[in-house]
Amino acid sequence: MGANEFGRYSPACLVPGVMVQGLDRLTRIRVCGERRTLRLRQTRRIFPMSLWSAIARSRLDRSIRKGCLEVTFPNGATSLFGSYCVSPIRIAIKSEAWLRRILLDPELQLGEAYMEGGLVLEAGDLYDLLDIFWTNILSDGSPSASLPAFLRKTFRAVAQFNPRARSARNVAHHYDIGNDLYRLFLDEDMQYSCAYFPDPETSLADAQRFKKDHVARKLCLKPGDTVLDIGCGWGGLALHLAGREKVRVHGVTLSCEQHCLARERADDMGVSDRVEFELQDYRNLTGRYDRIVSVGMFEHVGVPHYREYFDQIATCLKDNGTALIHTIGRTPGPGATDAWIARHIFPGGYIPALSEILPAIEKAGLMVLDVEILRLHYAETLKAWRSRFLARADEAKALYDDRFVRMWDFYLVCSELSFRHGVHNVFQLQLAKRQDAVPLTRDYLYRTEPARGPLRQVSPVNDERPFANAQR
pLDDT digits (tens, 9 = 90+) for 164-209: 666 666 666 666 678 999 999 999 999 999 999 988 889 999 999 9
d(CA 153, CA 135): 22
**In percent, how much of the chain has pLDDT > 70?**
76
Answer for the pair 13, 7: CB distance below 8 angstroms, yes or no: yes
Which residues, in sequence order, are CB contacts of 37 under 8 Å at separation 6+? 26, 27, 28
Query: Is the pLDDT score of 2 beyond 60?
Result: no
> Which of 345 and 144 is assigned the larger pLDDT?
345
The structural domains of the chain, with segments of one domain joined by +, span 3-152, 159-470
pLDDT bucket at 44, cuts 50 / 70 / 90: very low
Q: Is 93 left (phi over 0), alpha (psi -120 to 50) or beta?
A: beta
Residue pLDDT, tens place only, 203-245: 999 999 999 999 999 999 999 999 999 999 999 999 999 988 8
Backbone angles phi, psi at 194, to 5 degrees: -60, 125
Comparing 45 with 164, the larger pLDDT belongs to 164
- Condensed to tens digits (0 to 9), the pLDDT of residues 378-431 reads 999 999 999 999 999 999 999 999 999 999 999 999 999 999 998 999 999 999
Same fold for the pair 3-152 and 159-470: no
d(C-alpha 159, C-alpha 250), whole Å: 30
What pLDDT shows up at residue 12? 36
- Pick from 401, 419, 413: nearest CA to 459: 419
Residue 413 DSSP label: H
417: nearest Cα among 385, 454, 459: 459
The CATH number of the domain covering residues in 3-152: 3.30.1050
Phi, psi of 39 (to 5 degrees): -90, 110
- Count helices and strands in the chain by DSSP H and E runs: 18, 15
Residue 266 pLDDT: 95
Pick from 327, 328, 316: nearest CA to 291? 316
- Provide the pLDDT for residue 177: 76
- Residues with catalytic roles: 414
Q: What is the pLDDT of residue 403?
A: 95
3-state DSSP assignment of residue 100: helix
Which CATH architecture fits 159-470? Answer: 3-Layer(aba) Sandwich (3.40)
CA atoms of 247 and 152, how far apart (whole Å): 44
- Regarding pTM above 0.95, the answer is no
Residue 352 has pLDDT above 90, yes or no: yes
Q: For residue 459, is pLDDT > 90? A: no
Which has the higher per-residue pLDDT, 169 or 58? 58
Q: Which of 87-91, 364-368, 445-449 has the lowest mean pLDDT?
A: 445-449
How confident is the prediction for the chain on average, in pLDDT? 82
- What per-residue confidence (pLDDT) applies to 166? 61
Q: Check residue 137 and give its pLDDT.
A: 80
Q: Mean per-residue pLDDT for 46-62?
A: 83
Give percent above pLDDT 90 in the chain.
Answer: 62
Q: Does 148 score more than 70 pLDDT? A: no
- The pair phi, psi for residue 460, each rounded to 5°, is -60, -20
pLDDT score for 419: 95
End-to-end CA distance of the chain: 25
- Whether the per-residue pLDDT at 460 is higher than 50: the answer is no
Whether 444 shows a pLDDT value over 50: the answer reads yes
Mean pLDDT on 274-293: 95
pLDDT band at 144 (very low <50, low <70, confident <90, very high): very low
